[in-house]
Amino acid sequence: MNVAVLASGVGSNLQALLERVHGREGVSIVAVASDRVDAPALSRAREAGVACASFPVGRYRAREARDLAMAGWLVEREANLVVLAGYMALLSPSFLLRFPGRVINVHPALLPAFPGLGAVAQALAYGVKVFGVTVHFVDEGVDTGPVILQRAIELADAREPADVLARLQEIEHDLLPEAVTLIARGAVSLDPVNPRRVLIER
């Protein structure tokens, strides 16, 4: 399976994928793309010898044109799974049409609670005691696609977003590689009775 990773920031999830799934069980990370020219994730890709490119929206006439250019570049690299690992822009429907059912995302909350930006701040403001991470398929909504994996952590006295995020990132670095490995094994499918439900064969 050829995996493409989209990342806007630091790229610690990309790093976890490079260390834990790249070159194992028939999984290869073939491309890393970013909406930001200066994303540190791109340097991580370069260091690992993985093709990388940036697609800042300002270079195109609109977001959709950017997304189509990016999709075209990923198709050229024969990517057949796209992983959003801290990719902070919305993908247009025409991008998703190029990879139907083959785009996944990692989100630092237990969806459907706290979708969108600032999930950890939202959760802290709400006063929850249990936080968590979701890996899900991407559909046209914001963090609304079918849930593949989730893991919770109780942090009853949490106050600082940075502390919570650090604990959640440890979970992300486990859960996202696990999801990619399961998909590569063909162990992930949608329940025909309720396609919101993701079935996992272990």
The catalytic residue positions are 107
Q: Which residue is nearest to ligand GRF (CB)?
A: 86
Shortest reach from residue 201's CB to ligand GRF, in Å: 26
Residues near 113 by Cβ (< 8 Å), separated by ≥ 6? 123, 126, 128
Distance CA 159, CA 21 (A): 33
Ordered DSSP codes for 125-150: HHT-SEEEEEEEE--SSSS-SPEEEE
Shortest reach from residue 174's CB to ligand GRF, in Å: 13
Quick one: 65 or 147, whose CB is closer to ligand GRF? Answer: 147
* CA angle, 119 then 124 then 125, to 5°: 95
Shortest reach from residue 172's CB to ligand GRF, in Å: 6
Quick one: 15 or 181, whose CB is closer to ligand GRF? Answer: 15
Distance CA 45, CA 53 (A): 10
Quick one: 11 or 146, whose CB is closer to ligand GRF? Answer: 11
β-partners of residue 83 are 5, 104
Shortest reach from residue 136's CB to ligand GRF, in Å: 11
Q: How far is CA 135 from CA 7, 52, 84, 168, in A?
A: 15, 23, 10, 12
Shortest reach from residue 194's CB to ligand GRF, in Å: 26
Quick one: 72 or 112, whose CB is closer to ligand GRF? Answer: 112
Q: Which residue has the tokens 């790249």?
A: 22
Quick one: 75 or 147, whose CB is closer to ligand GRF? Answer: 147
Which residues in this chain contact ligand GRF in the complex, by CB under 6 A? 7, 9-13, 41, 85-86, 106-108, 169, 172
Q: Is the peptide bond before 112 cis (omega within 30 degrees of 0)?
A: yes
Q: For the chain, how long is the longest CA-to-CA vector?
A: 48
